[in-house]
Amino acid sequence: MVGEASMEAIVERVQSQLHDIDLFRDYTVRFFETHPDLTQSPQIVHSVKSRMKDLLHLREKIQRKSSAEDPITPENIFDRVTDIAGVRVLHLYQAQFTQIHRAINQKLDSQDWVLYEDPKAYTWDPESRGFFENQGLNVEVKESLYTSVHYVIKPREDSPVSCEIQVRTLFEEVWGEIDHLVNYPEPTDNIACREQIGVLARLVGAGSRLADLICRAYADEEPE
């Protein structure tokens, strides 16, 4: 439990960097919205969403993550909470992820961005796990049925500023929004909702694979 005085000191530390964090969020959004390889026909990125975590949700997250053994402090807040700025990149079908991942890696190779930690793919689906592993990503199987790829980037290694990038399909976004509605910040106790969320996840997985097949078949028929 974080005491009131400690919480206020942490929030004050965050507020001192909010302008720079928001600028970096905006820069990250613009990268995906204007990248020629991702936005020209055939369009890879369908849309980009972003947000800054509001202070109420930040306080709640600090209370959840902090403990007597490993407390969150003004000195380590930016290491412990790395999603104060969040950017979500949405695409139609799974195969498009390869080009988005390549564009991110090119940005990292140019050292315009620095990874705070290794990117990670979250999934429950064995086929998706194999796909992401083939991209060189670490994969974590989620019993919650969550699916998304996460990157945490910084403008430079010694900067307190960071931004979390989530990349997922539109199908996965729909599932995520519904799951967030009923399971955040606390999981629902409604058994019917939990079961139906699981069914929806499997429908989303099937829909994503079908979208892949349709779009690949369509691309194969297009004239050179």
Residue 224 predicted with pLDDT over 60: no
Q: Is the dihedral of CA 155, 157, 163, 167 positive or negative?
A: positive
User: What average pLDDT does the chain have?
Assistant: 93
Confidence of residue 219 (pLDDT cuts 50, 70, 90): confident
pLDDT given for residue 144 in this prediction: 86
Cβ-proximal residues to 45 (8 Å cutoff; 6+ apart), any chain: 32, 33, 35, 38, 39, 89, 90, 91, 100
pLDDT tens per residue, range 159-186? 999 999 999 999 999 999 999 999 987 8
Return the domain boundaries, the chain. 4-169
Domain 4-169 has CATH 3.30.460.10: yes
Cα–Cα distance measured from residue 120 to residue 77, given in angstroms and rounded to the nearest whole number: 21
Compute the residue count for the chain.
Answer: 224
Cα–Cα distance measured from residue 81 to residue 147, given in angstroms and rounded to the nearest whole number: 21
CB contact at 8 A, 149 and 97: yes
Residue 222 predicted with pLDDT over 80: no
Residue 41 predicted with pLDDT over 90: no
For 65-102, give one letter per residue: b (16+ CB within 10 A) or e. ebeeeebbeeeebbeebbbbbbbbbbbbbbbbbebbbe
pLDDT given for residue 3 in this prediction: 86
pLDDT tens per residue, range 60-111? 999 999 998 999 999 999 999 999 999 999 999 999 999 999 999 999 999 9
Confidence of residue 50 (pLDDT cuts 50, 70, 90): very high
pLDDT tens per residue, range 135-149? 999 999 988 899 999
Per-residue tokens: 188: 């629902």
